[in-house]
């Protein structure tokens, strides 16, 4: 998820004053309040953006954001490469391009996907997008009417929940465990949806180094899920920004490599090269590809030409595989610092996932502590995380938090975990006099929706400032 | 509108063959055909995209595309500027940024808007978008539910019609003439919509150097339209990519400069700097601004950082006002070549607008000729234009065509007009034996919907290949 600097104005904190008169602050005083589309009423600032002003303070160790370590790139080489693209090919790089994206880049994208076993993709089936975020938005717009149901892991990527909410789709979470999405739970959800007459449009899943779960779908489960998709005629959206960022092993075989008709694949260069270029893609069967191109033309005309040429040239001329290796070594060190500190410092009853790739650890608080309520105290202690509720569409997840190790240095991570452990201990002291410590093991992580497997409307459906 | 190279595959021409088996070509054979959202069924390739394969053939003079003359930029200077941005500021330019857009760029955008009399805009009211196309899409998503009515000039920008169609809004065209949108017709439309109980969400208007009309809203009409908006509590979307590209005069005062609460302003650097960077913006009251930020975060997370830094640095360090002057001189020459050739060569009964800025001439064929039917003969004669029907949501406009003079050199333009004149004459020869030549003056241009002022559904609502 994007970790971004605080926006210029702080609309919900500072009284918005402009040109000498006070702008209405409360939605009831927004003169256009009765004019918005239905979808607009459900929109709310994400748990992550709400943290921006906090995490940018230098004294705070932020384990909240998901910013890649872009300074590990060879900036001089990339700079002169991009400069030359403009000087030498300005007529192309500064001009409008194809809505589907640059053909050369689409070829190179097929090479990248081959690393995950997708060897039958054709450039004509690829649509270049403004980050994979736009890819998911396009797919959702093409398939989902208001009220349609989307199955997604619980927890799920917060940016995906935002897309689904904007489409007025309903999300039904399917539990995960250490091995990723649980196939039996998926099948159960499908059966119940059929019984209810719900139109399930697709399963949205992040099989590798899940955000925020940190877990990876095991090999046998991959086949099981593809089999279920086949049996239930289910479309699967495979969102895979982290697949090449494994610490210990070769990339796993994508779901799309097992089923080219039912799986729509989303890829991104945000984590393997640069998020600031906003280059991602969708791989989809031709009929769907055509709809996606029409949808992206209506949305942005075409993706930026310069950034597409930059990525294609980077893949053509720079040692990008070695660079990914360098990134993963750096992230592995940070993961190690995180897990070692958690092992050493966390009070009993706290559990967490042990990622072997990607950016995130998913942590469960002991004794039913509430990560959202605890947040102000953590910020006071100069450590930030993202509360678990941001990753559920149904308001659950209060006992969880996401810790990102991608951006801070190992020493900062250790200090951040130390501060966090103290905050949790202090909370426990407050509660221990009357509650017993929860001794749940990690297998419980990711199953919080077991007791609440109802389908819920868009995430965070409260109005702003309500 | 984007003129883009032919996409890799030609999905509607070449039988799409892949990996040895034939991919279903007809939508009825698309296995997912029953799964798409309602909005998806109305999507169709635009008249402009349908021309790509044609206009890229070197023997064809294309008066079809709307590509700016980017090679008139100082490419070396821009190249080294961008290269240095990456080498020196990679931690920012290659990283995620704010969803609202870079604060420094938003400040410079306010300086640019001041040239059109918008002196009270604050950077906090600006949202940077992926071209102004995304700005229009965001505004439409924030305001429009399916079935809502949007008022728009007849003809209207084809990309806007695509956005409105994707939102399942209904478009009601309001006639234009030489002085732009006709205020009395706007008022009439509002009265009729009220009587019908239609929810009019906004007026979409391009006041300067209209695409495709080539006309500009006169000074008195600007005030009249703002007054009507006030009287009828009407929101106005002012889309203004060409405002600084006038040939003979200072920029006119924007509608937004007259009404900061009812006018949402869309701007773009596509025509004043580079479309390949895809940097545009929306200026909106704070409450709307906040909705737009939430919508763009769900759509793309944030706009590309590199391209935003590139524009901000360009405005900070390069002589951008002089560059705009250079662009307008170049376009003026091309406009002159177009109008001189049209005056000299077009058969009687043909009429056209006389733009004093921007990229386009809107031409009316004599004798009720049909520009869409004539198109294959024009292409055979090696000249391309965009048929008028692409610019109406209701299928009207067959007697019109758009000619763009922005991209070809003056000599090519003269040759193109010569070929076009011959094609029209040949058509007339075919028809003249039984029809009288239409002697309508230009005042008739832009009033074609007078006889068909019903509200119609999304443009081009036929299915692909139907
Ligand atoms: C699971 C997941 N999907 C998609 C994205 C969006 O990535 P992009 O920068 O390509 O839009 C992210 C970013 O954090 C992510 O974690
Ligand atoms: C009237 C109008 N609005 C918007 C656009 C889209 O411009 P951008 O490149 O900023 O998305 C165009 C492009 O041709 C246009 O003519």
**B339: pLDDT confidence band, cut at 50, 70 and 90?**
very high
Residue B455: its pLDDT value, please? 52
Asked if residue B357 lies in contact with residue B216, where contact means CB atoms within 8 angstroms, the answer is yes
> Does the fold of domain B75-318 match that of domain B36-65+323-454?
no
pLDDT at B150 over 70: yes
Which residues 74-113 in chain A show a CB within 8 A of chain B? Answer: 75-76, 78-80, 82-88, 90-100, 103, 106
Identify the weakest region by mean pLDDT among A339-343, B62-66, B152-156. B62-66
Phi, psi of A104 (to 5 degrees): -65, -45
Asked if residue A272 lies in contact with residue A320, where contact means CB atoms within 8 angstroms, the answer is yes
Does the C-beta of B137 come closer than 6 Å to ligand 2?
no
| Residue B431 burial class via C-beta count within 10 angstroms: exposed 0-12, middle 13-18, buried 19 and up | middle
Does the C-beta of B275 come closer than 6 Å to ligand 2?
yes
Identify the weakest region by mean pLDDT among A196-205, A234-243, B127-136, B443-452. B443-452
Q: Is B375 helix (H, G, I), strand (E, B) or coil?
A: helix
Q: Where are the alpha helices (DSSP H) in B147-182?
A: 158-166
Residue A271: its pLDDT value, please? 98
pLDDT > 90: what percent of chain B? 80
pLDDT > 70: what percent of chain B? 85
Rounded CA-CA distance A204/B229 in Å is 44
SS3 sequence, A191-221? HHHHHHCCCEEEEEECCCCCCCCCCCCCHHH
Report the Cα–Cα distance between both ends of chain B, in Å, rounded: 25
Asked if residue A201 lies in contact with residue B35, where contact means CB atoms within 8 angstroms, the answer is yes
**B28: pLDDT confidence band, cut at 50, 70 and 90?**
low
Residue A366: its pLDDT value, please? 95
- Which of B97, B199, B217, B190 is CA-nearest to residue B149? B199
Asked if residue B106 lies in contact with residue B267, where contact means CB atoms within 8 angstroms, the answer is no
**A396: CA distance to ligand 2 center in Å?**
43
For residue A137, the ligand closest to its alpha carbon is: 1
Mutate to test the pocket of ligand 1, among A46, A49, A131 (most ligand atoms within 8 A of CB): A131
Residue B430: its pLDDT value, please? 87
Of A11, A90, A276, nearest to B97 by CB-CB distance is: A276
Can you read off the two tokens belonging to residue B142? Answer: 């924030």
Select the more confidently predicted residue: B457 or A96.
Answer: A96
| Residue B119 burial class via C-beta count within 10 angstroms: exposed 0-12, middle 13-18, buried 19 and up | exposed
Nearest residue of chain B to residue A164 (CA atoms): B298
Asked if residue B377 lies in contact with residue B421, where contact means CB atoms within 8 angstroms, the answer is no
Phi, psi of A26 (to 5 degrees): -95, 140
**B176: CA distance to ligand 2 center in Å?**
19
Q: A86 contacts in B (CB within 8 Å)?
A: 75, 78-79, 82-83
> pLDDT tens for residues B223-242?
999 999 999 999 999 999 99
Decide if A38 and B143 are in contact by the 8 Å CB cutoff. Answer: no
Report in angstroms the alpha-carbon separations of B293 from A24, A31, B362: 18, 18, 36
Complete DSSP assignment for B86-154: HHHHHHHHTS---TT--HHHHHHHHHHHHTTT--S--GGGEEEEEHHHHHHHHHHHHH--TT-EEEEEE
Find the helix or strand (DSSP H, E) in which B416 lies.
Answer: helix B410-432
Kindly report the number of other CB atoms within 10 A of residue A287's CB atom: 21
CATH architecture of A36-65+323-454: Alpha-Beta Complex (3.90)
Decide if B275 and A94 are in contact by the 8 Å CB cutoff. Answer: yes
Phi, psi of B178 (to 5 degrees): -55, -25
DSSP designation for B431: H
Q: Which atom of ligand 2 is nearest to the CA of A300?
A: 11
**B26: pLDDT confidence band, cut at 50, 70 and 90?**
low
DSSP designation for B170: E
**B67: CA distance to ligand 2 center in Å?**
10
- Which of A449, A397, A404 is CA-nearest to residue A176? A449
Q: Which atom of ligand 1 is nearest to the CA of A134?
A: 11
**What is the ipTM score, two decimals?**
0.89
Complete DSSP assignment for B304-329: -HHHHHHHHHHHHHS-HHHHHHHHHH
Q: Average per-residue pLDDT in chain A?
A: 88
Residue A438: its pLDDT value, please? 47
Residue B460: its pLDDT value, please? 31
Decide if B79 and A85 are in contact by the 8 Å CB cutoff. Answer: yes
Asked if residue B143 lies in contact with residue A35, where contact means CB atoms within 8 angstroms, the answer is yes
Rounded CA-CA distance A40/B298 in Å is 11
- Averaged in consecutive runs of 10 residues, what is the pLDDT profile of chain A (466 residues)? 38 37 53 91 76 78 94 97 97 96 98 98 98 98 97 97 96 98 98 97 98 98 98 98 96 98 98 98 97 97 98 98 98 98 98 98 95 95 96 96 97 98 95 55 37 38 27
Decide if B79 and A83 are in contact by the 8 Å CB cutoff. Answer: yes
pTM: 0.89
| Class level of CATH domain B75-318 | alpha beta
Residue A455: its pLDDT value, please? 52
| Residue B347 burial class via C-beta count within 10 angstroms: exposed 0-12, middle 13-18, buried 19 and up | middle
Rounded CA-CA distance B266/B280 in Å is 7
Residue A368: its pLDDT value, please? 87
Residue A452: its pLDDT value, please? 34
SS3 sequence, chain A? CCCCCCCCCCCCCCCCEECCEECCCCHHHCCCCCCCCHHHHCCCCCCCHHHHHHHCCCCCEECCCCCCCHHHCCHHHHHHHHHHHHHHHHHHHCCCCCCCCCHHHHHHHHHHHHCCCCCCCCHHHEEEEEHHHHHHHHHHHHHCCCCCEEEEEECCCHHHHHHHHHCCCEEEEEEEECCEECHHHHHHHHHHHHHHCCCEEEEEECCCCCCCCCCCCCHHHHHHHHHHHHHCCCCEEEECCCCCCECCCCCCCCCCCCCCCCEEEEEECCCCCCHHHCEEEEECCHHHHHHHHHHHHHHHCCCCHHHHHHHHHHHHHCCHHHHHHHHHHHHHHHHHHHHHHHHHHCCCCCEECCCCECCEEEEECHHHCCHHHHHHHHHHCCEECEEHHHHCCCCCCCCEEEEECCCCCHHHHHHHHHHHHHHHHHHHHHHHCCCCCCCCCHHHCCCHHHHCCCCECCCCCCCCCC
Asked if residue A295 lies in contact with residue A142, where contact means CB atoms within 8 angstroms, the answer is yes
Does the C-beta of B206 come closer than 6 Å to ligand 2?
yes
Supply the residue whose CA is at minimum distance from atom 15 of ligand 1.
A1
**A406: CA distance to ligand 1 center in Å?**
14
Phi, psi of A339 (to 5 degrees): -65, -40
Rounded CA-CA distance B86/A83 in Å is 9
Rounded CA-CA distance A440/B370 in Å is 75
Rounded CA-CA distance A197/A180 in Å is 27
Residue A439: its pLDDT value, please? 43
DSSP designation for B238: E
- Which of B357, B326, B393 is CA-nearest to residue B252? B357
Parse chain A into domains and list their residue ranges. Answer: 36-65+323-454, 75-318
Rounded CA-CA distance A219/A231 in Å is 19
Angle at the Cα of A393 from the Cα atoms of A399 and A192, rounded to 5 degrees: 105
Report in angstroms the alpha-carbon separations of B22 from A288, A319, B14, B16, B17: 15, 37, 11, 7, 5
Rounded CA-CA distance B343/A390 in Å is 64
pLDDT at B434 over 90: no
Asked if residue A125 lies in contact with residue B7, where contact means CB atoms within 8 angstroms, the answer is no
As beta bridge partners, residue B357 has: B246
Report the Cα–Cα distance between both ends of chain A, in Å, rounded: 25
Find the helix or strand (DSSP H, E) in which B202 lies.
Answer: strand B200-205
Does the C-beta of B66 come closer than 6 Å to ligand 2?
yes
Q: Average per-residue pLDDT in chain B?
A: 88
- Please give the average per-residue pLDDT across B406-412, as a whole number: 96
Residue B432: its pLDDT value, please? 74
């Amino acid at each position: 998820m994007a970790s971004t600097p605080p926006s210029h104005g702080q609309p919900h904190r500072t009284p918005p004053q402009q040109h000498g008169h006070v702008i209405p602050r409360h939605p009831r005083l927004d003169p256009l309040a009765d004019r918005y589309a239905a979808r607009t009423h459900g929109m709310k600032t994400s748990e992550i953006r709400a943290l921006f002003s906090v995490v940018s303070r230098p004294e705070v160790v932020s384990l909240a954001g998901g910013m890649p370590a872009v300074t590990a790139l060879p900036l001089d080489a990339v700079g002169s490469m991009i400069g030359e693209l403009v000087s030498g090919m300005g007529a192309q790089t500064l001009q409008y391009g194809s809505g589907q994206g640059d053909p050369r880049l689409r070829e190179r994208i097929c090479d990248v996907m081959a690393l995950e076993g997708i060897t039958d993709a054709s450039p004509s089936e690829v649509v270049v997008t403004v980050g994979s975020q736009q890819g998911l938005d396009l797919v959702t717009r093409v398939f989902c009417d208001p009220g349609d149901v989307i199955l997604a892991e619980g927890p799920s990527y917060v940016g995906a929940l935002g897309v689904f909410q904007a489409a007025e789709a309903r999300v039904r979470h399917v539990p995960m465990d250490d091995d990723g999405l649980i196939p039996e739970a998926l099948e159960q959800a499908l059966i119940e949806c059929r019984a209810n007459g719900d139109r399930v449009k697709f399963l949205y899943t992040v099989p590798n180094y899940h955000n925020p779960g940190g877990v990876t779908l095991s090999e046998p489960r991959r086949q099981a899920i593809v089999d279920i998709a086949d049996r239930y005629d289910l479309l699967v959206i495979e969102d895979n920004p982290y697949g090449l960022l494994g610490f210990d092993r070769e990339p796993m075989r994508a779901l799309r490599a097992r089923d080219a008709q039912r799986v729509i694949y989303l890829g991104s260069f945000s984590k393997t090269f640069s998020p600031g270029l906003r280059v991602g893609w969708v791989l989809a069967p031709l009929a769907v590809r055509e709809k996606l191109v029409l949808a992206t033309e209506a949305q942005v005309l075409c993706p930026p030409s310069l950034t597409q040429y930059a990525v294609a040239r980077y893949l053509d001329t720079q040692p990008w595989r070695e660079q990914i290796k360098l990134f993963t070594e750096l992230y592995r060190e940070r993961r190690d610092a995180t897990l070692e500190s958690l092992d050493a410092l966390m009070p009993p009853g706290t559990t967490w996932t042990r990622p072997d790739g990607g950016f995130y650890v998913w942590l469960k608080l002991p004794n039913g502590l509430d990560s959202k309520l605890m947040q102000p105290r953590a910020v006071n202690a100069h450590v930030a995380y993202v509360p678990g509720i941001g990753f559920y569409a149904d308001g659950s997840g209060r006992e969880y938090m996401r810790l990102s190790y991608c951006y801070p240095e190992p020493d900062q991570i250790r200090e951040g975990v130390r501060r966090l452990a103290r905050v949790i201990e202090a909370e426990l002291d407050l509660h221990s006099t009357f509650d017993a410590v929860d001794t749940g093991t990690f297998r419980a992580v990711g199953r919080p929706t077991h007791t609440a497997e109802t389908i819920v409307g868009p995430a965070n459906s409260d109005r702003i400032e309500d």
